[in-house]
Chain A
Amino acid sequence: SYEMTQPPSVSVSPGQTARITCSGDALPDKYAYWYQQKSGQAPVLVMFEDSKRPSGIPERFSGSSSGTVATLTISGAQVEDEADYHCYSTDRSGLQRVFGGGTKLTVI
């Protein structure tokens, strides 16, 4: 079955740039989506189709994808950005929908 891999944790100081990666063999052909999930809350879409930011998401959030790796970048991370971040995509057929394992971002 198709899998995507994220680092379990990323830690930065406030104001630094946080980069969270997601690796998957189908990513050259399929879009990546990113979700922010704060403790006890539902996930929120923060990036779609690799690099498009939904309305209401701060400009410090950006996304990119190159080869088999998609990256979510938070430029000037804030304490309120502390959360779990999950990437999402599909296998090449589009039928198997998959989340990465999630990355816990700590901003301290």
Chain B
Amino acid sequence: VQLVESGGGVVQPGRSLRLSCAGSGFTFTTYAFHWVRQAPGKGLEWVASISSDLPDKWYADSVKGRFNVSRDNSRNTIYLQMNSLTTDDTAKYHCARSYGDHDGFDFWGQGTMVAVSS
């Protein structure tokens, strides 16, 4: 099982960035996926989730209206489109999977770092 995030980097405030998370070694379509971030020296913060089908999406209040989560089952990949970035969005972003839409996460990727700075 692997979840590999990519797309992080340094970006100016107000700009956009798109993160990707590629899954392998399991049946991608049967899982819900989540983005969780961790600012330097801080705890974990749930950011967004996307269900295994339909798909339904859920967002933390801190990113609602700015971030969009999506999935491409043909590529076994989920995405996080991040718009109107602020310095508060600086963090390592992990993707994680869960078997049920509202279950806890049973496997995490190593994460990709996003730094918002002028």
> Min CB distance, B72 to chain A, in Å?
23
Number of chain B residues close to chain A: CB under 8 A: 22
> Min CB distance, A61 to chain B, in Å?
15
CA distance A102 to B39 in the complex (A): 13
Q: In chain B, what residue has the closest Cβ to A32?
A: B104
Question: Would A86 and B104 count as touching, CB distance under 8 A?
Answer: no
B109: chain A residues within 8 A (beta carbon)? 42
Number of A-B contacts defined by CB within 8 Å: 56
B interface with A by C-beta (< 8 Å)? 34, 36, 43-46, 49, 58, 60-61, 94, 96, 102-111
Extra A-B contacts (10), CB below 8 Å, given A42-B110, A48-B104, A88-B104: A1-B61, A33-B104, A48-B106, A84-B43, A88-B44, A94-B102, A95-B58, A97-B102, A101-B43, A102-B44
Pick 27 A–B contacts, CB within 8 A, sort by A.
A35-B105, A41-B110, A42-B109, A42-B111, A43-B96, A43-B105, A45-B104, A48-B104, A48-B106, A49-B104, A84-B43, A86-B44, A88-B44, A88-B105, A89-B104, A90-B102, A94-B102, A96-B60, A97-B34, A97-B58, A97-B102, A98-B46, A99-B36, A99-B43, A99-B44, A99-B45, A101-B43
